[in-house]
Structure 1
Amino acid sequence: MTISNEAEAGMETVELEPLREDKKRIFKDILGYFETHQRGYIKVPTGWGKTFLAKHIMKEYYENGKLVLFLISKNNPLLTQTYYDRKKDRPLFPDSAILSSEHKISRKEIAEALRESGQEKDKGFVIFASLQTLLGKQASEIKELLLEYADLVIVDEIHNFINNRGNDFLNEFGEQTRIMGMTATPFQGVVGNVKFVDEIAGDMREIYAKTLPECILDNELAPLKYTIAESSEDIFEIFDFEKGLDELDKQDLFLDCSTADKLKKVVKRTQLAKDVYDSLIKQKNSKTLVFCAPVRKRVYGAGGEGEEINAFHAKLTASVFNGEISAQALEKDAEPALPLDFDNYNSAGEFKDTAFITSELSRDEQSALLAAFRDAERPPYILCTVGMLIEGFDFPALESLILLRPTLSMRLFEQQVGRVTRLSPVSGKDKGKIFEISDSIDSLYQRFGEGVFNGEKVDQVQMLQPEIRLEELFSEGDAARAIEEGKIEINKVDFSALAKGKGKGAQIREVPVRLPPTVIRSKYFSRLLALTEEKDIGAFEREKRELMRATLRFRVKELRDAEELAELSGKINKLKREAYEDRRLGDVSRQHKPKVFGEVEWLLKLQALNSLKYEGGRISAPEKNKILKALGFEPDTRKIDSNRLKCLKLGSAQKTIPDLVKVLGFVSRLSSSETYQFLDKKKKEQWKREFLPAVYWGFCFIEDSPELKELFESTEWDRRVKNIIRQK
């Protein structure tokens, strides 16, 4: 392959389908933004059309004689898709080149083209590159020329560029280069330790954002039906907790298939996914993608001595779905026997109905597998994978997704959901369907108890609950309206009839799931309260932070939510009164424990009032008054603000908003990375104990104070604070 030029492409202009009117406005806003700013990013859900918009922006710069770099982290298929005009089977831009490990192009030829474009200033050129190839030794000259001449860098999936080599590369560009990022998820990491796109540089700003519910309501993405199928299995028995709660610091849990009993449980859980498919998904020619879980240890009864099997769960799942392995058969055998030679092909040499895709397959076989999967008339109808196809897999006709992997990363979760939300005029898909196999997580509290506190793992543990992740997913935008209009459905499915042996003809009952999941949050909040009540040593600083963090997660959308929170508030008040009289407590604990419960009680009420004030637009005035009464306030919506200030006065060390502004200004200065690293251990502990709680209170009054708003929108906050600020 060589560099595309006008003569080879046979055209002088770039031909693109026109933008819709709403996207034309966004297009103009972005161009206007870059007239005065160097960096910015857009945040839109997968399938919204950000790559198409980027092509129009590239065209604008290209036709004005500019040098453009379209950069991705490592997703070569996405790079190729963007470089080519598929309909005309040629590069999209007449003067362009693609630089990646898959495309063998003369580096010298590309360098000459870049130098010519940079020096002439009136000849546009677009280079499509993967970061890994661009930073390689063979591309060093190309890299230097881009740093010198590039006018615009468009970075797809810019969340992959946070605090790494990609981040360093972007920061090498001078002020003459505009940098535009695109992402569906502007963060990386697991809950409690998240990195954000604006950490790439201090001047990185959000230019435009649209939420998943908004896109669904505007018919830009397909309606969504999410079904939770509870496995009744104990998550501790299925997944590997060899390192205890530290396993929750990764984005995935690992299956434990190391013994005969463990393997049987994994197969049984996988069999449930097949039951879900057979009962609720299976239909002629529809396609289903299954995300499977990674396996860390050697699998019992499969593979050679000490040998690990690549993407074992994807292969196992394909065998279960093809009927080659069943939970019933394994139950009869004391020693489970697995096929040692997992195969995607039947005796006729064609793909089986269910296949697996792994990195060990050749690129030709992967391409053939994906081509067949995209063809409605050919198998495989079900495709199983562990880590592939999560980003950049463009298949709008995909109707169903099965999640067999619990994830602690909201970024990964959103990317998975995005596989089925694309519109497909060709297939006529009416909605995207997602089915998640969910396990019981109660054992984690029972087994690790106070360790949940000590490791500050509360958020991670709760993220294993599908309802919590879904609340996070729909926390922005008008999800309530989308649910009311039936464009977003969330259900739990009861497979008890099947489990009791009534056969596949038995009626399967789907039960609607409420968001916010107040009952679930209250259940785990009560566990935290109980753990705090049992302790009688210290100042309860960590417990207070965790309780306050959990408090800000609550939402009030209807009277039932308020009644649940009122009951919680009553529990906290009772514990506060009992703590005053608890003679077991030492002097320090007796001084602090009642205060901790008092702060949490009033912050909980403040959060309920905030939710009612800022998210209660669809709640009628009479209903709001009932909610206020349930929370223990006068049923008069005109007094919400005065009641909010009352909560601050009674619960916080800072009694007024000006007090909060003063303290949080100090927190902002202390929490900057430049300052925090030089604090000694004693000062850091003081910072956590005396000043960090003010962040929770201040967050509730952002809209009441321009000074607080400016502080909380600052990019200078350290990540310790950002993880509090951005948790809502």
Structure 2
Amino acid sequence: MELRPYQQDSREAIQKEWANGKKRTLLVLPTGTGKTIVFSKVIEDRVRLGERVLVLAHRGELLDQASEKLEKATGLKTSLEKAENTSIGSFFRVVVGSVQTLQREKRLSQFPPNYFDTIVVDEAHHAISDGYQRVLNHFEESNVLGVTATPDRGDMRNLGSYFESLAYEYKLPAAIKEGYLSPVKALTLPVKVDLTSVGQQAGDFKTRDLGTALDPYLESIAEEMVEHCQNRKTVVFLPLVKTSQKFKKILNSKGFRAAEVNGESKDRAEILEDFENDKYNVLCNSMLLTEGWDCPSVDCIVVLRPTKVRSLYSQMVGRGTRLHPGKEYLLLLDFLWHTERHELCHPAHLISENDEVAKKMTENIEEAGIPIDIEDAIEQATEDVVSQREEALAQQLKEMRRRKKKLVDPLQFEMSIQAEDLSSYVPAFGWEMGPPTENQVKALEKLGILPDEIDNAGKATKLLERLNKRRMEGLTTPKQIRFLEQRGFQHVGTWQFESARKLINRIASNGWRIPFDINPAEYKG
């Protein structure tokens, strides 16, 4: 099986992390981009080295999927460690194991700590739970690969407490742009759902409270779906089974062919097959279909289970991002969620890691009233935010001139070089969160950056890497940026070093005054 370029790159990056002594590393791929294929090929590489590998997951569907795709992609067969099934004594080099089974002391103690050389954790955002940690700590010498869809910063900080590095990340916008996933258009419907009475539990909204809060709006939501979803294949996510069942009845009364599945559905496999074969055009579920189920023809997702957890939101939307013949785009329906205390996920959070941009993007989508391509939306929102920041920065620069700092404020530098990744950076791994080292502080000062504003080693590392890269590419230095931008020149960070040097020499030879034929606001370096 020939891998796509990003799949091959991620495969090599994982092996490189292990070779460099980073024993616990992460792979982040959006739903639908073939993470199972990638880790199957990684497993094949390890088996060729004579290793024994464990694939760890928390649901039977994920174990079955991993086993099937592993055999299809590599020819490797697996043994199963689940309930009464045991892999002990099997000559297969790969074991797919249920974490619920393996975490039990009686089962775990049957394996020597060095039994597995490599462990793959599917849906790795679960890896920091007690059950997974019990298994992973038992096999503490193993190399570990955690595989997950796009996590939010909170997830990354939590995962960073166990994983040592991020081997590779492929982002949703890149997957859409390169033609591997469906474009996504978001539409905010004019239904204002009041969540102010909903409590919080384990870092998210209480599902029981959500069901009660949603009930008064189900009829009007169904009316909106009549207008937008009649000719679409739709999956609806709801917080409770009883809410899901109620909504199915309402939809059917409006002319939809709706079905409902939940964890207790005895005919679940039959309903899912009928939905795939278009007997139904809407499938309601109470968070059952977030992992391990694929139906590429789905072209509309309705999230009626508001959440603060980005990985959960991504999992729901991911049920509709796969490509399918005749599918132009995925329509993602959002609502006017009203909550005073909690920030929840919107379509913007699928592709924006910057809270400020996501907020502006959400506002713009709400105001539009028509389906908006999320890639176009983030571009516009980023421009809006940059414009607002530039206004604030202009004010800040006035104050900086008065203080006559000798060093460049890192915010000025980041804005000037238009480095969104630097200005929105948040540390994820343990070493990144500590303060900058003495050597980093000295290096930043030497390169003209004020180190007082850099409060963690991760940011200092990224900044020093960027400064070194700019030097190699012949771009302006922080001191050139400071000198020229204080005199009104714009975005000096995008200029070549030589252009800035010649201009500064010309200003110097003019008695440190700007020549009369130069307008700083319009000057292009």
Decide: shared fold, TM above 0.5. yes
- Which residue is equivalent to 1:464? 344
Contact 1:253 1:405 in 2 (8 A): no
Tell me if 1:356 matches 2:318: no
Provide the secondary structure at the position in 1 that maps to 2:239. coil
Mapped to 2, the partners of 1:465 and 1:97 lie a distance apart of 39
Q: Does 1:240 align with 2:174?
A: no
In structure 2, C-alpha distance between the alignment counterparts of 1:707 and 1:216, rounded to whole Å:
27
- CA deviation map 1:653-708 (0-9, x unaligned): xxxxxx9766999xxxxxxxxxxxxxxxxxxxxxxxxxxx9666988766444799
CA distance in 2, matches of 1:608, 1:512: 31
1:86 and 1:165 map into 2 onto residues whose CA distance is: 25
CA distance in 2 between partners of 1:697 and 1:34 (Å): 25
Q: Quote the residue 1:272 is aligned against.
A: 220
Q: Mapping of 1:239-638 within 5 angstroms?
A: 239-241=197-199, 247=200, 250-254=203-207, 256=209, 266-283=214-231, 286-294=232-240, 311-323=241-253, 353-362=257-266, 365-376=267-278, 378-379=279-280, 381-424=281-324, 427-441=325-339, 444=340, 461=342, 463-464=343-344, 466=346, 470-471=348-349, 473-475=351-353, 491-492=365-366, 557-558=382-383, 560-561=384-385, 564-565=388-389, 607=411, 610-615=414-419
Structure 2 residue corresponding to 1:148, chosen from 97, 107, 114: 114
Equivalent residues of 1:402, 1:436 under 8 A apart: yes
- Measured in 2, the distance between the counterparts of 1:608 and 1:231 equals 41
Say whether the 8 Å CA contact 1:99–1:129 is kept in structure 2: yes
Residues 222 and 707 (structure 1), Cα distance of their counterparts in 2 relative to 1, 3 Å cut: closer
Q: Distance in 2 between matches of 1:561 and 1:608?
A: 15
Structure 2 residue matching 1:84: 3-state secondary structure: helix
Q: CA-to-partner distance for each residue in 1:320-372, whole Å, 9 max, x for gaps?
A: 111189xxxxxxxxxxxxxxxxxxxxxxxxxx82122122223xx11112121
Partner of 1:169: 135
Contact 1:40 1:180 in 2 (8 A): yes
Note closer, same or farther for the CA distance 1:662–1:248 as it changes in structure 2 (3 Å cut): farther
How far, CA to CA, are the matches of 1:164 and 1:609 in structure 2?
43
- TM-aligned CA distance change 1:566 to 1:440, over 3 Å: farther
SS in 2 for 1:196: helix
Number of the residue aligned with 1:181: 146
Give the distance between the partners of 1:94 and 1:701, measured in 2 at CA: 44
Name the structure 2 match of 1:53.
38
SS state of the match for residue 154, structure 1?
Answer: strand
Match of 1:112 in 2: 89
**Under a length normalisation based on structure 2, what TM-score does the superposition of the two structures give?**
0.69
Residue 397 (structure 1) shift: 2.0
For 1:410, the aligned partner's letter is: R
Per the alignment, do residues 410 and 372 of structure 1 end up closer, same or farther by CA in structure 2, a change over 3 Å counting?
same
In 2, Cα distance between the equivalents of 1:322 and 1:407?
26
Q: 1:214 to 1:150 in 2, by over 3 A?
A: same
CA 1:611–1:383 in 2, change beyond 3 Å: closer, same or farther? farther
Structure 1 gaps, min length 5: 1-16, 118-123, 242-246, 295-310, 326-351, 445-456, 484-489, 495-507, 519-554, 577-604, 618-640, 645-658, 666-692, 710-728
- Where do residues 13-92 of structure 1 align in structure 2 (5 Å cutoff)? 17-37=1-21, 38-72=23-57, 74-84=58-68
Does the aligned pair in 2 maintain the 1:227–1:435 contact within 8 Å?
A: yes
Cα pair distance change 1:562/1:474, threshold 3 Å = closer
What SS does the corresponding residue of 1:111 show, helix, strand or coil?
A: coil
Query: CA RMSD, aligned part only?
Result: 4.4
**How far did 1:61 drift?**
2.9
Find the residue that maps to 1:112 and give its secondary structure. coil
Query: How far does the alpha carbon of each residue in 1:209-268 deviate from its partner, in whole angstroms, 9 at most, with x for none?
Result: 1111111111121111121213134333xx435xxxxx376322546589xxxx7x8445
Question: Who is 1:349 aligned against?
Answer: none
Spell out the pairing of 1:674-693 with structure 2 (5 A cutoff): none
> Aligned-pair distance for 1:25?
4.0
Determine helix, strand or coil for the equivalent of 2:205: coil
Q: Deviations over 1:448-487 (max 9, x none)?
A: xxxxxxxxx6xxx3x2373xx61573238xx99xx9xxxx
The offset of 1:20, in angstroms, is: 3.1
Q: 1:98 aligns with which of 80, 83, 90?
A: 80
Shift of 1:26: 3.5
Q: Is the 8 A contact 2:79 2:96 kept in 1?
A: yes
In the alignment, is the contact (CA less than 8 A) between 1:220 and 1:423 conserved in 2? Answer: yes
TM-score by length of 1: 0.51
The alpha-carbon distance between structure 1 residues 166 and 493, as it changes in their structure 2 partners (threshold 3 A), is: same
3-state SS of 1:405 partner: coil
Alignment of 1:111-130 (within 5 A): 111-113=88-90, 117=91, 125-130=93-98
In the TM superposition, residue 407 of structure 1 has moved relative to its aligned partner by: 0.8
Alpha-carbon spacing, 1:179–1:464, altered in 2? closer, same or farther (3 Å): closer
CA separation of 1:324 and 1:71: change in aligned 2, threshold 3 A? same
2:121–2:145 Cα contact (<8 Å) kept: yes
Amino acid at match of 2:234: T
Deviation at 1:69, TM superposition (A): 1.0
Q: Structure 2 counterpart of 1:226, which letter?
A: A
Instruction: Call closer, same or farther: CA 1:609–1:433 in 2, change over 3 Å.
Output: farther
Task: Between 36-45 and 215-224, report the one with greater CA deviation.
Answer: 36-45
Whether the 8 Å CA contact 1:159–1:185 is kept in 2: the answer is no
Q: Equivalents in 1 of 2:379, 2:190: separation in Å? A: 16
User: In the alignment, is the contact (CA less than 8 A) between 2:119 and 2:145 conserved in 1?
Assistant: yes
Report the secondary structure of 1:394's partner residue.
Answer: coil
The 2-side partners of 1:698 and 1:173 are apart by 30
1:288 Cα shift? 0.9
Cα 1:406/1:206, change in 2 over 3 Å: same
CA contact (8 A) 1:230 1:439 kept: no
1:222 equivalenced with 2:173 (yes/no): no
Q: Is the 8 A contact 2:414 2:420 kept in 1?
A: no
Q: Which amino acid aligns with 2:417?
A: K
Larger Rg: 1
